[in-house]
Every structure is written in C-alpha cells, then in structure tokens.
Structure 1
Amino acid sequence: MTSQFVLTLSCPDRLGIVYAVSGFLTRRDANIEDSQQFSEHGSGRFFMRVEFKTAHDRDELAVGFAEIAREFHMDWQLHDRAVKPRVLIMASKQGHCLNDLLYRFRIGALHGEAAAVVSNHPDWADLAASSGVPFHHLPVGPGGKAAQEQRILDLIESERIDVVVLARYMQILSPEFCAKLPGRILNIHHSFLPSFKGAKPYHQAHARGVKLIGATCHYVTSDLDEGPIIDQEVARVDHAMSPEDFVSAGRDLESTCLARGLAAHLDQRILLNGHTTVVFR
C-alpha cells in the first residue's frame, strides 16, 4: 500500500539540489507524480515542491531527509496528503465568502476540513449548521478585544486548527494574535493591493476613477494589509458605475480569489520568500 506525500523546500541555490532530492526518493521506491522548482535570482534562493507516492511512512521519510536538508541548509516540510488540514473560517456581517467556502468544502473541492466558523455577529449560525459546521458567536465587547482573541486562540488549540481564514472578518487582529500564527492566517482584502488599503476600498477606488477593481488574498501579519500576497483577481469597471456597483461586482472577485488562495495553501503550493510568495500552480 502506498501513501501520497508533498515535500516543499527552500534553500540557498546551488548545484545538486534536484539530484539529491530525486535520488533520495528513488532510493525509497517513490513515484514522483509532480515536481516544480524555481530559482529566485534576486535573493539567490531555490524553491521546490514535489508530490510523490511511496510505501514508506512519513516518520521514516522525515528522518532520512533531514540529513539532506542539513547539507543544503533547507527550510522544508513533508505533508501526508491523507491528513486533511483543519480550517477555522471567520466572518462578520457579509457572508458571501463564507457561503462559498462552506459549499466548496461540502463538495470536496478544497483539500481540508471546515472545522468551525467564528463570527462577531450571530447572523451565520444557520448557514454554518446547514453545512454541519460548528458555529461560535464571539462578539467583541467594549474593551474586550484581548479576551475575545484569547477565546479564539483557545478554540484553535482545542479544535487542532491548522489554518485560519478571514472571510470578510472585519475586525483588525492584534499584533500579538498574528505573532502566534505566522503563515497560518489568510485574509481576503477587497481591493487590488497595494492600492486602497484600509476601510471602504471600493469607495476609495470609485473616488479615484479607476477602470479596474480587484480582490487580494494574502497572509496576515501585524502590518495591516501588508502581508505576503497569495492571489489576486480583477474586473473592469467604468464611469457609469456607482460605489455600490463596485461592491456588488467585487463579491464574486473576493469569493473566487479567496477560494483559490486557500486551495493553494491547503495543497502546500505556497512557499514564503520574505515579503513575497512563490505559488506553484
């Protein structure tokens, strides 16, 4: 019986990396099903994603590969595809991204499990229940932001959450919260970053008379709307459209962009490269 794995790595670029990785897998009777690599000349770093099948178990592979990783100074991860990442979805008053993600999880279009929904409003309890996903109403009271975030962190620990998705969750997370989950929080911002950060970006875009609007899926850091960009989507607009028309057109952009970014994360297709990302398709 074989199992499917994904190996991702980054390291200083040098001769012999692909040879060492493929040789390691060949010696373990692994069948490589997909292999992608990228050399970033500016930073001098090498990035690689390999999907393969083998009869060897994960612990054995990890112990054996550690020697190669040390030799090439690799940052690396080995994922067993049989283990589905557990996802916490957070939303506020707007539910289009939440609804889209729950549907995609329900039909198996995303390689993960929707483990819980959190909202600072009670509106989406029935929607979550219809998908069989536990709903947690965690409002932010006056002066209670730290306490609310601690309840979320407790939920993340108790539910063994691997990734948090902000599906139009309209609360700014504290730097302390973000620091506890580096590379594990995805957000959808309703503009084509780095343009129009902050509140009401569609209204900002309308005021500037733009001809394109967009949505951006990015990792969350302590710097508002500055995290590494994962994916972006755009649509054409014109002078006859109102800010409300921009908002309406943006809903589809946001849902599509967030789902595509989350899919890439769950499939281990994203490697961080400083303030940017390498996304293998």
Structure 2
Amino acid sequence: METSAFILKLACPDRPGIVAAVSHFLLHAGCTIVEAQQFEDPTEKRFFMRVVFAGAGGEVEPARLRAAFEPVAAQFAMQWSLTRQGEHKKVLILVSKFDHCLVDLIYRARIGELPIDITAVVSNHGAENYRHIDFGGLPFHHLPVTKETKPAQERRILELVEETGADLVVLARYMQVLSAELSAGLARRCINIHHSFLPGFKGAKPYHQAHERGVKLIGATAHYVTDDLDEGPIIEQDVERISHYDSPENLVRKGRDIERRVLARAVRYHVTDRVLLNGHRTVVFPD
C-alpha cells in the first residue's frame, strides 16, 4: 500500500557532518524523521545510512526533493537513492526442479508479507512439473537450456526482464550457472539462494559434502549474483543444528526449510531498501 513516507538510503566516505547535513536538509524540506539507522565501517572508512521520513505538513513531492538533495549528495560524494516506503517492486523468478522457494515467495507476495509484484516465472523445466502449484494467473515461461542453446536462452531471459520491467531477478533454486554476460546484465539486481552456508561446500551436492564431513550445522546463503560462482556479496544466512543420525535425505529436507526463509528475508531486505553494498560485503539494516 502506498504511503506518504519515503526512504533515503546512502553510502559515502566517512567524515564528520553527514548526519547533521541530512537532518538539516530534511528539516528545511518540511520533513520529519520517522526512523534512522546508520553504520560507520572503520576498516573501509565508509558511512552508511537509511532514513525513513515523511512530510511534516502534507505530501512530499519526490522529484523536487531529489533535485534539492543533489548538492548535499555531491558535497559528501554519496551514492544514494530515494524511494517511497511500501512501494511494490517488480520481481522475475527463475526456478528449476525444486519449487519450495518459488511456492514460498508466491505465498508471501499473495498475503502481502513481501511488497513485490511477481511479473513472471521462468523455468528450464516444463509446466507439467508445476501442476500442483496455484500460479494465480502468473505468466509462466518454459526456457529449456543446453550447452548449445544457453546464449539464446539467456538473451531471452534478459528480454523478459526488460519486457516486464523487473526491478529484481530471484534465482529460487535455479540450478543453472549464469554466464558472465547475464551476470553483468543483472548486476546488483539478482539474488540467488545457495543451499549451503557459504563460503563452505560450494558447487554440486553441498548437503552430501556436509554429510561426508560430519558437520553439526547446515545452512543456506542468499547473495547477490556476480560472475564469480557463489562469491557474490552475502545478504542473509541461517543455520540449523544436525547430528550423526541425519542422512543426506534428512539434510535436504531440513535444508529446504532454511532455504525458503533465508531467501524470503533477503528479498524483503532488498525490496525495502535495507541493503547497501560495501565492496564485496553488504550492510543490512534489519527491520
């Protein structure tokens, strides 16, 4: 639901006066601060901030506010964005055989828990694999892929991103490695769920690798996609304790539950403007 509140998100070199400048600007723009979070990274000497604000005397005009904020942003060399709080983001979902994350995202979007509009579902498997799912009219695209057809298939994915106006692409257990070209085309707007607690147990069958190593914790990792496989900035992770009684099948079953909730949290953090990139890491302001 659209509100009169806005989110200002920024990152810049750390120096005195940033908070004062932002607060002063909002005050003189006739706005009141509803929520403010900040983080100073002493290692990188960078400053991160997320401010929720609203017009003190009525509706705020975003275009006018953005133009007025430009001198402040330039003064502190800020990377920044201004969005309306509660505004729905358009999301394109890619999925393969395992559909638990897909079903979970559809459900959370349907009940309003995630402020997203799913524009389409894309799979390298046919629609017959998802007969049990109530898509509720969501467009479904079957894009099979082989080594020979991969370039054309990925071009079609990018076309769908543009055609649907997707703000975010979610790999909901999409078991295909994206090419460097597609990864670059989706830079900073593509989230993957990896069925392991990265950086350990990368690649195929991580639960089987974990079982062979006798681990006592399993987990899942949601991260931004880069052209380095499973090396993108991490947004969210979670773990669950296991024991020697657990078979690989038990780990897969337990892992599915971890994966869906980690991915849902990562998507929520992204679409509510709570994630800022900090080199190869992220700053995530919790809700």
With the shorter chain as reference, the TM-score category is over 0.9
Amino acid at match of 1:34: E
User: What percent of counterpart residues are identical?
Assistant: 55
Q: Check whether the contact 1:88–1:114 (CA below 8 A) recurs between aligned residues.
A: yes
Q: Which residue of 2 aligns with 1:11?
A: 12
Q: Distance in 2 between matches of 1:52 and 1:131?
A: 35
Q: Deviations over 1:42-90 (max 9, x none)?
A: 0000000001112221111110111000000001111123531100011
Amino acid at match of 1:15: P
1:155-194 superposed matches below 5 A: 155-194=160-199
Aligned length: 281
Q: Check whether the contact 1:216–1:233 (CA below 8 A) recurs between aligned residues.
A: yes
Amino acid at match of 2:183: C
In structure 1, the gaps of 5 or more residues are none
Q: Distance in 1 between matches of 2:137 and 2:21?
A: 45
Q: Which of residues 75, 83, 90 is equivalent to 2:87?
A: 83
Q: Distance in 2 between matches of 1:114 and 1:127?
A: 18
| Corresponding residue SS for 1:31 | strand
Q: Which residue of 2 aligns with 1:251?
A: 256
1:57 paired to 2:61: yes
Q: Which residue of 2 aligns with 1:227?
A: 232
Q: Distance in 2 between matches of 1:136 and 1:57?
A: 38
Q: Deviations over 1:119-162 (max 9, x none)?
A: 00024554665333111111113500000000010010010000
Measure how far apart 1:5 and its partner are. Answer: 1.0
Q: CA 1:251–1:65 in structure 2 vs 1: closer, same or farther (change >3 Å)?
A: same
Amino acid at match of 1:190: H
Root-mean-square deviation over aligned CA pairs: 1.4
Q: Check whether the contact 2:3–2:85 (CA below 8 A) recurs between aligned residues.
A: no
Q: Check whether the contact 1:128–1:134 (CA below 8 A) recurs between aligned residues.
A: no
1:271 paired to 2:271: no
Measure how far apart 1:220 and its partner are. Answer: 0.5
Q: Check whether the contact 1:128–1:135 (CA below 8 A) recurs between aligned residues.
A: no
Amino acid at match of 1:189: H
Q: Distance in 2 between matches of 1:66 and 1:127?
A: 50
Calculate the TM-score normalised by the size of structure 2.
Answer: 0.95
Q: Deviations over 1:245-280 (max 9, x none)?
A: 110110000000000010000100000000000000
Q: Check whether the contact 2:41–2:47 (CA below 8 A) recurs between aligned residues.
A: yes
Amino acid at match of 2:29: R
Measure how far apart 1:4 and its partner are. Answer: 1.7
Q: Which residue of 2 aligns with 1:72?
A: 76
Q: CA 1:20–1:172 in structure 2 vs 1: closer, same or farther (change >3 Å)?
A: same
Measure how far apart 1:224 and its partner are. Answer: 0.3
Measure how far apart 1:240 and its partner are. Answer: 1.4
In structure 2, the gaps of 5 or more residues are none
Q: CA 1:102–1:142 in structure 2 vs 1: closer, same or farther (change >3 Å)?
A: same
Return structure 1 stretches of 4+ with deviation > 3 angstroms: 123-130
Q: Distance in 2 between matches of 1:19 and 1:132?
A: 49
Q: Check whether the contact 1:163–1:184 (CA below 8 A) recurs between aligned residues.
A: yes
Q: Which residue of 1 aligns with 2:39?
A: 38
